[in-house]
Amino acid sequence: MEKIKPAINPVYIFPSSFTYANALCGFASIFFSINSNFFIAGVLIIIAILLDVFDGRIARFFKATSEFGKELDSFADLVSFGVAPAVLIYLSELHVFGTTGLLISFLLILGGMSRLARFNVINISNYFLGIPIDASGLAVASLAISKIQLNPNIIACIVITLAFLMVCNIKYPSFKKIKREKRKKIIYLTLLFAISCIIMAVVDIEKLIIIPPAFYIIFGPILEIEKNPEEHG
């Protein structure tokens, strides 16, 4: 009699549990945004980012990567870093624009969907094509947590920019594989980042959280300009 293999290998359940927890944090973030607790909503998005980082590394450690896990991760990311930030930024800031603000917020979901779909069909391991959706989510969450007072028009421009960066062809480093010739640039940029952190900590430590996503957002365009100086100058 032929032995029937189990439908689900227990090894795959552990990393997937992090993915489900990621989606749960995204869902909870939406709940807190609806109840106007934008600080907690932003914190939950950041927790979801940490869970998203862990699930992939755990899957690779246990050699439990699969197409199912890849698709599951994309669905969770869309909830936590697409829908949750869109709801957060609309209810906290862009609601003043009415339907227009709703459509601008939806760009985060639209850009996130496109970003995830492209990531799943393009096999690139040493860089990201367009800013990752979790970096976009981190930027929105950081705005809520830092409580930076910005004009709604500026917030709208930031959201539109994030949506564009998710679907553009600018290369962003994944930090998985860094070529030797780029290490010096990375060191200089990291030093600049550290100095910025110190300055911000002296000025207002609460707003320090906005620096990492802002730094990463400009990281790609800086490397792109340095790579093709003649085209941009």
pLDDT tens for each residue of 36-45: 999 999 999 9
- Residue 131 vs residue 54, higher pLDDT: 131
According to the model, what pLDDT value does residue 129 have? 83
User: Three-state SS for 68?
Assistant: helix
Whole-number average pLDDT of the chain: 79
Mean pLDDT value of segment 12-29? 86
| Strand residue runs (E) in the chain | 127-129, 171-173
Among the listed residues 39, 48, 57, the one whose alpha carbon sits nearest the alpha carbon of residue 79: 48
| Strand residue runs (E) in 72-228 | 127-129, 171-173
In this prediction, residue 197 has a pLDDT band, given cuts at 50, 70 and 90, of low
Mean pLDDT value of segment 171-199? 58
In this structure, what token pair is assigned to residue 98? 């009415």
Mean pLDDT value of segment 138-162? 91
According to the model, what pLDDT value does residue 181 have? 45
What sign for the dihedral angle of Cα 103, 153, 92, 209?
positive
User: What residues contact 66, with CB distance under 8 A and at least 6 apart?
Assistant: 12, 59
Q: Are 111 and 163 in contact (CB under 8 A)?
A: yes
Which of 11-15, 57-61, 85-89 is the most confident on average? Answer: 85-89
Residues above pLDDT 70, as percent of the chain? 68
Residue corresponding to tokens 């981190």: 138
In this structure, what token pair is assigned to residue 123? 């096999």
According to the model, what pLDDT value does residue 61 have? 62
Q: Does position 114 have pLDDT exceeding 70, yes or no?
A: yes
- Residue 171 vs residue 211, higher pLDDT: 171
Q: How many angstroms separate the CA atoms of 159 and 108, rounded?
A: 7
Q: How many angstroms separate the CA atoms of 136 and 134, rounded?
A: 5
Supply the pTM of this predicted model.
0.80
According to the model, what pLDDT value does residue 214 have? 81
Domain segments of the chain as ranges: 10-174
Q: How many angstroms separate the CA atoms of 186 and 178, rounded?
A: 9
Q: Are 59 and 65 in contact (CB under 8 A)?
A: yes
Q: Does position 187 have pLDDT exceeding 70, yes or no?
A: no
In this prediction, residue 97 has a pLDDT band, given cuts at 50, 70 and 90, of very high
* The architecture CATH gives domain 10-174: Up-down Bundle (1.20)
In this structure, what token pair is assigned to residue 84? 């949750």
Residue corresponding to tokens 């697409």: 82
Q: Are 30 and 90 in contact (CB under 8 A)?
A: no
